[in-house]
Structure 1
C-alpha cells in the first residue's frame, strides 16, 4: 500500500501541475486531483501516526484529526474564494457524517471482525457526547431557526457571534482534556493499548518535514480541484450538495479514514475513536467557525446556516453515534449500523 501511495504521489503531483497548465480535459483532471490528494493525505496520515506513537493516544488523536482536517480546510478556503458557499457548507456536513458514520463505522467494523469486543475510554466517550450535542444540535440548529426571522445582515452577525463562542469553547475543551484533567479519567480495564511500546515509522523531524511538504502540495492541488466542480457537476448531474457532502468530504478526510481504520485493526480504539469523534468536533467547533470569519475577506460571506436536509442528517448522525458509543465498547455489528446510516443519507443527498 505504501508503494502504491508513493507511485501515486510521484505521478499525481507532476500530472496535476502539467494538466492545470496545459488545460487538459476537466473531468479527467478532476480524477487526477482527487487521487493525488488522497495519496498525499496517506503520507499525512503516516506522518501523524508516527507523531501519535511519540506523543501518546490523546495528543496523537488530536494531531491526526487536525492534519486530516487541514486538507478539508484548504479545499474549503479555495471554494469560498470561488464563491461556492453551498459546496463549503455541504462539505462541512459531509465531514460530520463521514467521520461519525463512515470513519467510525469502518473502524468499528474492521476492528470488530478481528476482535469480538473492543473497548475504549468511556469517560472520553461521554465527554465527547456532550460536546457533539452542543456543537451540532445547539450551535448549528439554533442559527437556522432564528435565521427564518432575520435579514441577511442580522443572520451574518449572529453567525459571527456563534462562531466566536464555538472557537472559544473548543479551545477550553482542549485545555480541559490536555491540561487541567489530563490523566484524571483513565480507562480502568485498559484495552491493550500501549502506544509507547510501538516504534514510530519515522523520526519526529522526518515526520514533521513530510507533513509540511504534503500539506503544501495538497494546497496547490486543492485550488485546481475546486475549479473543476462546476463542469464535473454538470457532466455527471451532481448537485453542489452531493459534491460537497460526499465527494469533497471523502477526498478531504482520506487521511483520518485510513489512520482510524488502521488503529482499530491494531485494537488501539482510544486513538481510533479520538480521530473519528475528535475530528468531527474540530470540524464543527473550529473549522466551520474559522471559515465563517475567513469568508469575510472574500466577495461572498458565509453564514453558519445549513439546509434542513443537512441539519436533519447531522443531528441523526450525532444521536446514532452517541447511543452506540456511550458504553465505551463496540463490535462489528455496531460498525455496520453506522455504515448503513451513512449509505441511507448518501442516497438521499444523491437524489436531491
Structure 2
C-alpha cells in the first residue's frame, strides 16, 4: 500500500520534471507491480461474488485496456511493427509466461491443481481458430496480393474475429452460464469477498487507469534502456512491452494460482490471450484505418510459428483440466527459448 501511494505521485512528478530515463524506468516498474496487487485483490473479490469467469474476464479486460491504449498511441506514431510485436508478445506472455508461472507457483504448494476442463476445451478450440486460422491464413493468402488487398483481407478477418468473440462471451456468460460448472466454482461461493462488487470494480478501474498512465510513460523510456542494454526493437515489442503492459494481470493470475483458485488463474491467462487475438488485435486494425499508416493483420513467420507452437503446447497441457509445477516449468522453458530466439534475431 505504501509503495502505491508513494510510487504514483513520484511517477507523475518524475515525468513532469523529466528525471533520468533509467531512474524513471525503475520507478514505473515498481509502481506497476504495486498497483497489480490491488488489481489482484479486486479480481479475487469479483471472482467470489460474480464467479471465476466474470472475475477473470474483467481482470483480463482491464489489463488489456492498458495495452490497447499504448498500442493506439504507437499506431498514431506509425510504429506498426512494434504494435504487431507487442501483440505477439501478449499471446506468448499469457500462454507461456503467465500460465507457466501460475502453474509453477501453484504447483509448488499443491501437488495437483484442477480447473474447469470444459472451459479448457472450449478455449482450446477458440485459441486454435484465432491463431492458427485467423493469423496464419492472412499471411498465406497475402503472398500474391498487393497492399490494398492485404488490408481488405485484414479488415474482413478482423470483423469476423470481433463478432465471434462477442458470440463466445454470449455463449459462456448467457446461454451456457453454469451449464459446465466445476467443483471449484461451487466451493468458492461459500467464501466472503474482501470487497463488494461495486468497490472491487471501482478499485480495478482506478488501478487500471493509473497503470495505463504509467505504462504509457514507461514506453518512452524503452529507447534509452534498449540502447543501454543493446536490445532490438523486435525484442522490446515482443518481450519487454508485452511483459510491462500486462504486468498487473500477470500478478493477479499467479496470486489466484497460489490460493488454488485455478479457474480464475486460467481464465485470466487464456481468456486474456483470446481477448488479445480476437478483440484487441482486430480493433487495432480497424482503428489504424483512421491513421496515416494502416496496420494489416500480417505477422512475420517467426512470430506466427512462435504463437502456433505456444497454442499447441497449451492445448496439450490444459485439456485434461489438471496441472502441476512441472507443466508450469515446461511452459516457462518454452518462453525462455523463444525469448532467446527473438533476442538474437
- Identify whether the pair has TM-score above 0.5, normalized to the shorter chain: yes
Distance 1:211 1:118 in 2: 27
- Residue 134 of structure 1: how far off its partner (Å): 0.2
1:281 aligns with 2:274: yes
Residue in structure 2 matching 1:128, options 123, 126, 133: 123
Within a 5 Å distance, the mapping from 1:277-316 to structure 2 comes to: 277-316=270-309
After the TM superposition, which of the residue ranges 141-150 and 315-324 deviates more from structure 2? 141-150
Residue in structure 2 matching 1:101, options 84, 96, 119: 96
Report the equivalent of 1:19: 14
- Residue 19 of structure 1: how far off its partner (Å): 2.0
- Residue 238 of structure 1: how far off its partner (Å): 1.2
Please list the CA deviations of residues 211-241 of structure 1 after superposition, one character each: whole Å capped at 9, or x if unmatched: 2222222232233223233333223221121
Within a 5 Å distance, the mapping from 1:169-188 to structure 2 comes to: 169-187=164-182
Contact 1:34 1:251 in 2 (8 A): yes
Distance 1:297 1:105 in 2: 38
Q: 1:68 to 1:216 in 2, by over 3 A?
A: closer
Report the equivalent of 1:218: 211
Please list the CA deviations of residues 129-160 of structure 1 after superposition, one character each: whole Å capped at 9, or x if unmatched: 11000000000111112222222222111111
Residue in structure 1 matching 2:69, options 69, 74, 78: 74
Aligned length: 345
- Residue 177 of structure 1: how far off its partner (Å): 1.0
Report the equivalent of 2:4: 9
After the TM superposition, which of the residue ranges 261-270 and 86-95 deviates more from structure 2? 261-270
Report the equivalent of 1:28: 23
Residue in structure 1 matching 2:245, options 241, 248, 252: 252
Report the equivalent of 2:107: 112
Distance 2:262 2:35 in 1: 25
Distance 2:112 2:40 in 1: 26
- Unaligned runs of 5+ residues in structure 2 are none
Q: TM-score, normalised by structure 2?
A: 0.94
Contact 2:39 2:249 in 1 (8 A): no
Root mean square deviation, CA, Å: 1.7
- Residue 84 of structure 1: how far off its partner (Å): 1.8
After the TM superposition, which of the residue ranges 226-235 and 146-155 deviates more from structure 2? 226-235
After the TM superposition, which of the residue ranges 23-32 and 313-322 deviates more from structure 2? 23-32
After the TM superposition, which of the residue ranges 217-226 and 315-324 deviates more from structure 2? 217-226
- Unaligned runs of 5+ residues in structure 1 are 1-5
Q: TM-score, normalised by structure 1?
A: 0.93
1:153 aligns with 2:148: yes
User: 4+ residue runs of structure 1 moved beyond 6 angstroms?
Assistant: none
1:65 aligns with 2:83: no
Distance 2:77 2:187 in 1: 46
1:323 aligns with 2:294: no
After the TM superposition, which of the residue ranges 167-176 and 194-203 deviates more from structure 2? 194-203
Distance 2:186 2:98 in 1: 20
What secondary structure sits across from 2:19 in the alignment? coil
Contact 2:63 2:208 in 1 (8 A): no
Distance 1:186 1:221 in 2: 38
Please list the CA deviations of residues 51-110 of structure 1 after superposition, one character each: whole Å capped at 9, or x if unmatched: 222101111121121122122222222222222212211111111111111111111112
Q: 1:42 to 1:244 in 2, by over 3 A?
A: farther
Contact 1:44 1:67 in 2 (8 A): no
Contact 2:99 2:266 in 1 (8 A): yes
Distance 1:209 1:58 in 2: 19
- Residue 45 of structure 1: how far off its partner (Å): 2.7
